[in-house]
């Protein structure tokens, strides 16, 4: 059966010193091709104050998942990796996993802020805020993105945010998605490859992050690497779906030796720790320079370590009295893990500096797969795009498009057809002893981590899309 299981972004990463042909002058001319071609094909691209407007809703609202029983599929999978289990399309959202991971770029302004800062501690704070913000879109996103087909690609250019992005599905078993993003101004490169390892634990599905993400601030000759926290979707079988992220994330500045250690806290017995993130930045001699705290669903702050410890001590005294009065009411529910009541305010320590605050979601988000405004625009096929995009781009996938338009039966048929086509192509390659050849990424050595990873080889934006596989 086909590989059908990337619930969310468990992230690895990669990097290359390789070709900044992505950020060369010649390459930046290619970045203008999309915009100029769009204008040629349709001079009426919506603009507001000179900035291109993107759609703010999907063509059709999501449908109910209540009629689908997932238990019949998952009951034999407890403790196993879910890499070859075909899930009902009702549990999908109308995005490919390649599009889902491009949501890392929603808060690109934090990278631009890091580029502009002269102090290395302040740069690390901005990078830490970006690392947290990159997983923020997962809040309430319980729909599963479509598995990318082998050779599938996705590009995203956001001139107003100053970046362009390209990704490719470089492996099917195991599923690996490689991406490369770069600043249109030539001041940063951000890349990685993602291999989410998922397991079903009876009531929940857990995604284990694999590998590293790399961010290079070219002006400062700095490179940062980190990996994402674990992610868990609760109540897969029964009850309200809810998400928590947990685990330790270490961000290393390979130039200065500074390190940021972030602890994404599990929700705990009374749900007090739900969504909380706490950590610190230390220099290469392990001296704590500042504390970072907040919630990955809301905001992140930084403060002096001594002020934070003083605040925590006074907070604990109040908490102890309160906890004495909190008894567990009744036995644990055997059927569902009740989501703790969300306390959406962060107790701000006096003297703290705000690093990041999440954007509010559109009012109709709950009927649109809990998408953010950024996610809402990712599958939009704007005027002029068809002549520019690679034919392997996610926007051309008929199953995703059908689902987006609210036609679930057609989406299911198309998904099955595409998977069968992929299986047939793999059999044909095996029969002819042919190896799959990736187009835009290849295995190489990450110069910072030293690991073997998928690195961008450049050239995508030259728009030479001949000899690409026919995957749709």
Residue 247 maps to which CATH number?
Answer: 2.40.160.120
pLDDT score of 389: 97
pLDDT score of 429: 94
- The whole-angstrom separation of Cα 332 and Cα 163 is 48
pLDDT score of 6: 33
- How wide is the angle at C-alpha 456 spanned by C-alphas 95 and 389, nearest 5°? 45
Task: Write the CB contacts of 124 (distance below 8 Å, at least 6 apart in sequence).
Answer: 224, 251, 253, 258, 260, 281
pLDDT score of 38: 38
Q: Give a yes or no: residue 182 inside a domain.
A: yes
Q: What are phi and psi of 336, to 5 degrees?
A: -145, 150
Indicate if the pLDDT at residue 345 is higher than 70: yes
Q: Give a yes or no: residue 265 inside a domain.
A: yes
**Residues in a beta bridge with 278:** 263, 293
- The whole-angstrom separation of Cα 132 and Cα 106 is 12
Question: 120-133 vs 109-116: helix axis angle to the nearest 10?
Answer: 170
- The whole-angstrom separation of Cα 453 and Cα 445 is 6
Q: Quick count: other Cβ atoms within 10 Å of Cβ 193?
A: 30
Q: What is the DSSP letter of 394?
A: G
Q: Give a yes or no: residue 357 inside a domain.
A: yes
* Cβ-contact 175, 202 below 8 angstroms: no
| Confidence class for position 25, pLDDT limits 50, 70, 90 | very low
Of residues 230 and 253, more confidently modeled: 253
Q: What is the DSSP letter of 24?
A: S
**What pLDDT, in 10s, does the model give residues 182-214?**
999 999 999 999 887 777 777 777 777 776 899
* Cβ-contact 127, 215 below 8 angstroms: yes
pLDDT score of 330: 40
Question: How far is residue 344 from each of residues 14, 35, 67, 84, measured CA to CA in Å?
Answer: 34, 40, 32, 37
| Confidence class for position 5, pLDDT limits 50, 70, 90 | very low
| Confidence class for position 18, pLDDT limits 50, 70, 90 | very low
Of 471, 371, 444, nearest to 145 by C-alpha is: 371
- The whole-angstrom separation of Cα 41 and Cα 381 is 13
Query: Averaged over 293-298, what is the pLDDT?
Result: 94
* Cβ-contact 32, 115 below 8 angstroms: no
Reported in sequence order, the residue ranges of 116-152 that DSSP labels E, i.e. its strands, are 144-146
Q: Give a yes or no: residue 12 inside a domain.
A: no
Q: What is the DSSP letter of 139?
A: T
Q: What are phi and psi of 299, to 5 degrees?
A: -165, 165
Of 217, 196, 11, 8, nearest to 108 by C-alpha is: 217
Of 145, 155, 132, 189, nearest to 358 by C-alpha is: 132
Indicate if the pLDDT at residue 298 is higher than 90: yes
Q: Quick count: other Cβ atoms within 10 Å of Cβ 37?
A: 15
Query: Averaged over 396-413, what is the pLDDT?
Result: 95
- The whole-angstrom separation of Cα 54 and Cα 156 is 12
Residue 430: give the domain boundaries.
20-319+338-462
Counting the structural domains of the chain, the total is 1
Q: How large a percentage of the chain has pLDDT more than 70? A: 77
> Which residue shows structure tokens 């050779």?
151
Q: How far is CA 146 from the centre of its chain?
A: 14
Q: Give a yes or no: residue 328 inside a domain.
A: no
Indicate if the pLDDT at residue 245 is higher than 70: yes
Q: Give a yes or no: residue 97 inside a domain.
A: yes
Q: Which two tokens stand for residue 286?
A: 């392990």
**What pLDDT, in 10s, does the model give residues 50-100?**
567 899 999 999 877 665 555 555 555 555 555 555 667 877 899 999 999
Q: Give a yes or no: residue 469 inside a domain.
A: no
**What pLDDT, in 10s, does the model give residues 107-130?**
999 999 999 999 999 999 999 999
Question: How far is residue 268 from each of residues 32, 140, 172, 198, measured CA to CA in Å?
Answer: 50, 19, 36, 22
Q: Which two tokens stand for residue 406?
A: 């609210």
> Which residue shows structure tokens 């729909």?
143
Q: Which two tokens stand for residue 209?
A: 């992050």
Q: Give a yes or no: residue 1 inside a domain.
A: no
* Cβ-contact 328, 167 below 8 angstroms: no
């Amino acid at each position: 059966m086909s590989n059908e299981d990337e619930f969310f972004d468990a992230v690895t990463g990669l990097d290359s010193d390789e070709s900044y042909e992505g950020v060369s002058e010649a390459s930046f001319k290619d970045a203008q091709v999309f915009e100029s071609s769009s204008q040629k094909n349709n001079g009426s691209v919506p603009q507001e104050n000179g900035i291109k407007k993107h759609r703010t809703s999907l063509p059709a609202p999501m449908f109910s998942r209540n009629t689908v029983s997932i238990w019949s599929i998952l009951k034999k999978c407890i403790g196993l990796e879910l890499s070859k289990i075909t899930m009902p399309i009702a549990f999908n959202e109308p995005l490919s996993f390649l599009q889902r991971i491009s949501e890392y770029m929603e808060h690109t302004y934090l990278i631009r802020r890091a580029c502009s800062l002269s102090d290395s501690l302040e740069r690390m704070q901005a990078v830490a805020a970006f690392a947290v913000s990159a997983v923020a879109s997962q809040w309430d996103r319980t729909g599963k993105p479509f598995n990318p087909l082998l050779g599938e690609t996705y590009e995203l250019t956001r001139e107003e945010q100053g970046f362009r992005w390209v990704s490719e599905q470089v492996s099917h078993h195991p599923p690996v998605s490689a991406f490369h993003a770069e600043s249109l101004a030539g001041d940063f490169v951000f890349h990685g490859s993602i291999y989410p390892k998922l397991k079903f634990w009876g009531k929940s599905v857990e995604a284990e992050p694999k590998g590293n993400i790399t961010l290079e601030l070219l002006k400062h000759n700095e490179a940062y690497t980190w990996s994402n926290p674990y992610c868990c979707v609760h109540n897969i079988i029964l009850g309200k779906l809810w998400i928590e992220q947990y685990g330790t994330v270490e961000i290393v500045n390979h130039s200065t030796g500074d390190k940021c250690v972030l602890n994404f806290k599990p929700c705990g017995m009374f749900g007090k720790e739900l969504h909380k993130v706490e950590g610190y930045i230390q220099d290469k001699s392990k001296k704590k320079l500042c504390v970072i705290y907040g919630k990955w669903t809301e905001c992140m702050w930084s403060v002096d370590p001594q002020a934070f410890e003083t605040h925590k001590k006074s907070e604990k005294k109040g908490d102890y009295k309160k906890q004495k009065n909190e008894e567990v009411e009744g036995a644990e529910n055997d059927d569902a893990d009740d989501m703790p009541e969300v306390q959406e305010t962060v107790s701000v320590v006096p003297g703290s500096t705000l690093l990041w605050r999440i954007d509010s979601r559109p009012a109709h988000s709950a009927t649109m797969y809990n998408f953010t405004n950024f996610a809402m625009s990712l599958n939009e096929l704007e005027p002029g795009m068809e002549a520019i995009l690679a034919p392997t781009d996610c926007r051309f996938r008929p199953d995703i498009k059908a689902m987006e338009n609210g036609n679930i039966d057609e989406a299911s048929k198309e998904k099955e057809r595409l998977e069968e086509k992929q299986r047939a192509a793999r059999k044909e390659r095996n029969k002819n002893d042919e190896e799959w050849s990736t187009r835009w990424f290849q295995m190489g050595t990450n110069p910072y981590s030293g690991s073997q990873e998928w690195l961008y080889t450049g050239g995508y934006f030259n728009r030479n899309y001949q000899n690409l596989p026919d995957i749709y």
